[in-house]
Amino acid sequence: MKYCISEIYIYPIKSLGGIKLTESNIEPRGLQHDRRWMLCNENNHFITQREFKELALFKLSKESNFFAINYQENSFQIPFETGGQTETVKVWDDECLAIEYTLGSAWFSKMLNMTCKLFYMPNQSERKVSEKYAHNNEITSFSDGFPILIIGQESLNYLNTKLPKPIGMDRFRPNIVFTGGKPFDEDHFKDFSIGKNLLKGVKRCSRCVITTIDQNTTKTSSEPLKTLATFRNMDNNVLFGQNLITTKIEHEIKIGDEIIL
């Protein structure tokens, strides 16, 4: 069975629009630049599309040395990284250090008509993967819990045969999409390689209401969770995709690379 990477995505700011790439470096926290930025409320607690679905409408692109953000008729730029005084921020039950980018905080507060802060995770900040799933004290970014999410295109193709209206892969916010094999083969990915990079599947991804938000219009419905729950429910979790950690990092990945199990 041959599996090949067909799409690569990063989400520089947690819960905002993703960027489609042809190649990306793998780093200890995941793909380079992925979820190194995050919006928080005035209490430094993370905010996402779960509470503010309009975050989906902030679209990002990667330029030579910054990310461009477009929202309605407005635009803004953030650097790949920033320095400054660290503060403690909270992601789910985790607390970690981050640097506020005050220019970004002011712009997002204006766009969203609410007080919010834009934070960057510097290299010295280490947010650990849950000990239950870690292999060797792996770290992650501002992701929900793991460095990388992988999904097979055949899994989405199969799901779309059951939905009243097909949806795109952007509902599931993967980092890596692959072609080949059968639906949900990624459930069984354990130790595997992409080039000289070694990765490990550690936990099937439980899905939330963000999957029910159209990423271009913010319209919501009961799908795809309603349909997924009929055949992908385990212990009251609806599963779609496989969370990965990295066990050896050597090189970039690119479209067309083969996944070797």
Amino acid 255: pLDDT = 98
Structure confidence at residue 234 as a pLDDT band (50, 70, 90): very high
Structure confidence at residue 248 as a pLDDT band (50, 70, 90): confident
Pairing of strands 66-71, 74-79: antiparallel
- Other C-beta atoms closer than 10 Å to the C-beta of 7 total 17
CA distances from 2 to 7, 10, 23, 184, 255 (A): 16, 24, 20, 14, 14
Residue 251 has pLDDT above 90, yes or no: no
Residue 157 has pLDDT above 90, yes or no: yes
- Other C-beta atoms closer than 10 Å to the C-beta of 4 total 14
Report CA torsion sign: 171, 174, 179, 184: negative
Query: Which domain covers residue 65, as residue numbers?
Result: 3-260
225 three-class SS? helix
DSSP per-residue string spanning 149-213? EEEEHHHHHHHHHHSSS---GGGT--SEEEESS-TTGGGG--EEEETTEEEEEEEEEEP-GGGGB
CA distances from 144 to 36, 156, 177, 187, 252 (A): 12, 21, 18, 19, 23
Q: Is the peptide bond before 164 cis (omega within 30 degrees of 0)?
A: no
**Closest to 7 measured CA to CA, from 25, 24, 26, 22:** 22
Output the pTM of the full model: 0.97
**Closest to 55 measured CA to CA, from 6, 26, 118, 13:** 13
Query: What percent of the chain is predicted at pLDDT more than 70?
Result: 100
Residue 136 has pLDDT above 90, yes or no: yes
- Say if CB 141 and CB 125 are below 8 A apart: no
Amino acid 61: pLDDT = 98
Paired tokens of 106: 């002011």
Residue 120 has pLDDT above 80, yes or no: yes
Task: Give the count of domains, the chain.
Answer: 1
| Mean pLDDT, residues 155-182 | 98
